[in-house]
């Protein structure tokens, strides 16, 4: 099976227990990383529709492609006009836990009652096109929710939001685009399509999906008093650090952040190079966080 199909069918797990950290300087262009690999990231978007709803989902998606996303395409092999019994569990582990209102009971009900599935493939991106393409992906999500989709999941990092949260993120992206604030726009796209923190206490926690805005992911190793597992509040602290580092990388550049934070920048060894979660820009490592 080729890498595109593996990406579409990937089954994602792990909890996300975090809160976003905002505050980049407005009105500036974002800095991006140099690629350490020939691999170029892309978006895989999963849309759920009603019973016998595939044709309508495809029609809506083609309208988006014709209107503003010409480099996106429909997956013809794994989209289906019937429910997928893996979706309830998949969305359950992919829900964004960053925002306290990331999803509502109505979103869970819509997923449980879905009757069709459409996958949309984004174009391959480099660092210079990642934010623009991710902005189109977020607009694509809102277009589909406005035209028949019941629920949406971003497969490239394994993150899902409820319809209300997707709309909020889209409206924020429109405001930042109108203000020509690329750093703020990159941050909104990161909050929409990336996950953090995932992992465990022993190996540390990482972000997944920062490559979708042209930045390395962040890996945090930490120590704490006692031998109890990290708490939700401590994981929120880790997530806030990841967001701070991402904002700083977009503002000052990766090399400056690595030097300032006494961090490391290494190749992404978490995933195979042809997987959609693989980050070609690498992983910034923080090894000394004390909780």
Check pLDDT > 90 for residue 73.
yes
Tokens of residue 239, six digits: 């997530």
**Are 175 and 66 in a shared domain?**
yes
**Average of per-residue pLDDT values in the chain:** 89
Q: Around 150, how many Cα atoms within 13 Å sit in the side-chain half-sphere?
A: 26
Lowest mean pLDDT among 25-39, 43-57, 92-106, 185-199: 25-39
Which residue is it, tokens 């690329």?
A: 182
Tokens of residue 135, six digits: 């902005």
Check pLDDT > 60 for residue 11.
no
Domain stops at, among 192, 226, 254: 192
> Does residue 26 fall inside a structural domain?
no
Domain that holds residue 214: 197-290
Range list of H helices, 48-97: 54-67, 87-94
Is pTM beyond 0.85 here?
Answer: yes
> Does residue 269 fall inside a structural domain?
yes
Domain stops at, among 127, 157, 192: 192
Total domains in the fold of the chain:
2
**Are 93 and 176 in a shared domain?**
yes
Tokens of residue 202, six digits: 């022993």
State residue 280 phi and psi, 5-degree precision: -70, -10
Residue 28: pLDDT band (50, 70, 90) is low
Angle between helices 163-178 and 130-146 (to 10 degrees): 130
Check pLDDT > 70 for residue 91.
yes
Give the burial class of 36: count Cβ atoms within 10 A of its Cβ; 0-12 exposed, 13-18 middle, 19 or more buried.
Answer: middle
Check pLDDT > 70 for residue 283.
yes
**Are 70 and 180 in a shared domain?**
yes
Q: Report the length, in residues, of the chain.
A: 291
**Are 62 and 151 in a shared domain?**
yes
Check pLDDT > 60 for residue 275.
yes
**Are 158 and 261 in a shared domain?**
no
For 103-147, write each residue's pLDDT tens digit.
Answer: 999 999 999 999 999 999 999 999 999 999 999 999 999 999 999
**Are 53 and 169 in a shared domain?**
yes
**Quick one: pLDDT at residue 233?**
87
For 256-271, write each residue's pLDDT tens digit.
Answer: 999 999 999 999 999 9
**Are 46 and 133 in a shared domain?**
yes
Domain stops at, among 152, 170, 192: 192
């Amino acid at each position: 099976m080729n890498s595109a199909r593996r990406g579409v069918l990937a089954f994602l797990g792990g909890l996300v227990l975090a809160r976003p950290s905002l505050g980049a300087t407005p009105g500036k262009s974002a800095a991006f990383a140099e690629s350490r690999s020939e691999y170029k990231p892309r978006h895989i978007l999963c849309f759920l529709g009603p019973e016998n709803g595939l044709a309508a989902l495809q029609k809506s998606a083609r309208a988006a492609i014709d209107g503003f996303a010409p480099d996106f395409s429909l997956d013809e092999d794994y989209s289906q006009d019937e429910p997928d019994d893996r979706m309830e569990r998949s969305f359950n582990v992919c829900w964004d836990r960053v925002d306290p209102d990331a999803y509502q009971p109505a979103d869970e009900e819509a997923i449980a009652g879905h009757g069709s599935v459409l996958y949309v493939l984004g174009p391959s991106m480099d660092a210079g096109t990642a934010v623009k393409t991710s902005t189109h992906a977020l607009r694509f999500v809102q277009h589909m929710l406005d035209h028949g989709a019941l629920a949406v999941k971003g497969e490239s990092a394994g993150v899902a939001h409820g319809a209300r949260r997707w709309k909020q993120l889209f409206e924020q992206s429109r405001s930042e685009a109108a203000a020509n604030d690329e750093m703020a726009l990159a941050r909104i796209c990161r909050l929409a399509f990336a996950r953090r923190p995932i992992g465990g206490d022993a190996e540390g926690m990482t972000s997944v999906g920062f490559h979708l805005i042209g930045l390395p992911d962040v890996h945090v190793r930490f120590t704490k008093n006692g031998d109890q597992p990290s708490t939700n509040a401590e994981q929120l602290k880790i997530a806030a650090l990841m967001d701070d580092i991402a904002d700083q990388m977009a503002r000052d550049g990766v090399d400056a952040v690595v030097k300032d934070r006494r961090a490391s920048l290494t190749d992404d060894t978490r995933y195979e190079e042809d997987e959609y979660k693989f980050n070609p820009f690498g992983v910034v490592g923080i090894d000394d966080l004390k909780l």
